[in-house]
Amino acid sequence: MPNVPKIVRERLRVANPVQAEHPNPNVLTAFAESSLSQRERADVLEHLSRCGECREILVLALPASEPVQVVTDKRSPSWLAWPTMRWAFASAGVLAIALFGFLQYGRHNASTMMAKKEADATVEARNEQPPQIGQDYGKSTEEQTLQSPDKPKRKAPPLEMDKRATAFAPNAELAKDFSNRTIAGPLAHGPRQIYQQQQSGNVQQVPATVLALNAPEMKQQASGGKAADLRPPVSDESVQVLASKPDVNSQALDSVVAKNQVSSERSAADSEVSRAKSAPAPAGPPVGSLSNARSLQTAAATPGWTINAGRLQRSFDQGTTWQDVKVISSPDSGGGLELAVAERNGLKDSVKRNNNKKEQSTPLVFRAVAANGPDVWAGGAGAALYHSFDAGAHWSRVVPSSPNGSLTGDILKLEFRDPQNGTIATSTGEVWSTRDNGQTWQKQ
């Protein structure tokens, strides 16, 4: 029970002299037994409020047998009394709201997050792919990037390859996964001739780009090691294994399985499958065969993005470490894009093109970043808007424009609900939106 101010007690005691004479025992008894008339009861109450003596008599005269019974009888139902029940109601309400929110969130995930997360898993693979190719294949990353297919061509082959991959089914699932991965690998940045080779049915000659896809698995096994350190273990031998048809070269396949832990292999492989399917139509409905469990598995490889002091940063380990991402795009952004990932320690040298020096001299100041898996948008000062299809490996500058003019000012806010639909808010109060992954823009 709360305390009343002491002054209340003081005044209750001091300022209430008993005026009338005490009620006689008859009246007090009748009061205790609630058999007084209203008027008489009020008189007695008035007296009781002033007379400690009569209160005392009243309490002393309470019937003896009742207390125990009364107390127990009255306390047990108090659990269902309103003061208790209102907390029950409140907590039930909170629970219901939380449940509703959870369900809504899950539904949201199903519709929008799925393609995003699945695709995210490949980010790592891609980032390590170019050097891998350079090492194993004798190709420079420059050549590869220059040969990157433009979008329409990129979209077509995977579907076919996917079908073919399923045709490999007689062997193990793993075989299928590997095949799929050979397709999935080059999607974003692989050299175009890979597709050509595969399309011609020359599967055994599938180049070693596949190998790069092993990188994430290797990295998972090595738990936290630097990406650069992980590459050497992947040998030429395994390149052949991966490149060849599983049924032709099953021995080699076994060796690969032995090298890689099946579980991690499987999860990464799943993500590759999902990407292969979702890449042709990134905003399409989620592929039915993909379960949420897969999404969760692949989420581990999803890079996180942030803006730190105007620099765009990326993290592959849930934000434990961040690396700067240099965004460089060639002027002819429709064609060859170029990656320059510069880690903070500077170990890795970025590949630069001459015509990008200008941009480097005045570093971009980013204000906003939005990512849907590998599909990354970054915007900043001076209407700078960059888009990457491959989790930041390659960037292209995008200048939203409409018949009435193009975007001006600093980009303050970027929002992409999914890879297709996004909005941009600028410091000049403009709002631009796209519904086709940045191909066309509408000013609002």
Partner 1 sequence: MSSENPNIAVQAVLNELVAELHAKAACEKIGLTLQSFADILLDVGAKYAGSGSPGEIRTFFLSLRVDELALARACAAGIEAAWEIFLTRFREKLYLSALRIAREDSAARDLADNLYADLYGTSAREGKRVSKLASYTGRGSLEGWLRTVLAQEYVNRYRRTRRLVSLDEESEEGVQFRAPEPSATAAVDSRLAQATDEVLALLPAEDRAVLSAYYLDGRTLAEIARMLGVHESTISRKIDKLAKSLRKQIMASLSRRGMSRRQAEEALEVDVRDLQVDIRRSLTQESSSAAFSEKRVEAPVREGVREGEG
Q: Point out which span in 13-21, 171-179, 276-284, 285-293 binds partner 1 (CB under 8 A).
A: 13-21
Compute the distance between CA of residue 47 and CA of residue 33 in angstroms, rounded to an integer: 17
Which token pair is 314? 């990326």
Give bridge partners of residue 380 from the DSSP assignment: 366, 384
Contact (Cβ atoms closer than 8 angstroms) between residue 191 and residue 147? yes
Mapped onto helix, strand or coil, the DSSP state of residue 424 is strand
The answer to whether residue 63 forms part of the interface with partner 1 (CB under 8 A) is: yes
> Is the four-CA dihedral 343, 348, 353, 357 of positive or negative sign?
positive
For residue 163, give both structure tokens.
Answer: 């079908």
From 62, 88, 98, 296, residue interacting with partner 1 (rule: CB under 8 A): 62
CB of 122 to partner 1, least distance (A): 58
* Residue type for position 50: R
Strand 323-324 and strand 311-315: pairing? antiparallel
CB of 25 to partner 1, least distance (A): 4
Q: How far is it, in rounded angstroms, from Cα 208 to Cα 242? A: 8
12 binds partner 1 (CB under 8 A): yes
User: Rounded to an integer, what distance in angstroms lies between the CA atom of residue 276 and that of residue 271?
Assistant: 9
* Interaction between residue 4 and partner 1 (CB under 8 A): yes
Binding piece for partner 1, criterion CB under 8 A, among 78-86, 217-225, 244-252, 302-310:
78-86
Q: Does position 6 bind partner 1 by CB under 8 A?
A: yes
20 sits near partner 1 (criterion: CB under 8 A): no
- Interface residue with partner 1 among 5, 17, 334, 403 (CB under 8 A) is 5
**Among residues 19, 20, 34, 423, the one that binds partner 1 under rule CB under 8 A:** 34
Nearer to partner 1, 32 or 365 (CB): 32
Q: Per rule CB under 8 A, is residue 2 in the interface with partner 1?
A: yes
For residues 62 and 99, which CB has a smaller minimum distance to partner 1 in the complex? 62
What's the token pair of residue 228? 């650069």
Give the residue, chosen from 20, 52, 415, 436, that forms a contact with partner 1 under the rule CB under 8 A.
52
Q: Is 292 exposed, middle or buried (0-12, 13-18, 19+ CB in 10 A)?
A: middle
Q: Does 88 bind partner 1 (CB under 8 A)?
A: no
Decide whether 12 or 248 has the Cβ nearer to partner 1. Answer: 12
User: Are the beta carbons of 280 and 158 closer than 8 angstroms?
Assistant: yes
Contact region with partner 1 (CB under 8 A), list: 28-36, 105-113, 252-260, 344-352: 28-36
Q: Is 356 helix (H, G, I), strand (E, B) or coil?
A: helix
Q: Which of residues 311-370 bind partner 1 (CB under 8 A)?
A: none
Nearer to partner 1, 62 or 296 (CB): 62
User: Residue 259 is inside which H or E element, if any?
Assistant: helix 250-259
* Interface residue list for partner 1 (CB under 8 A): 1-16, 24-37, 40, 42, 45-46, 48-53, 55-64, 66-67, 70-71, 74-75, 78, 81, 83
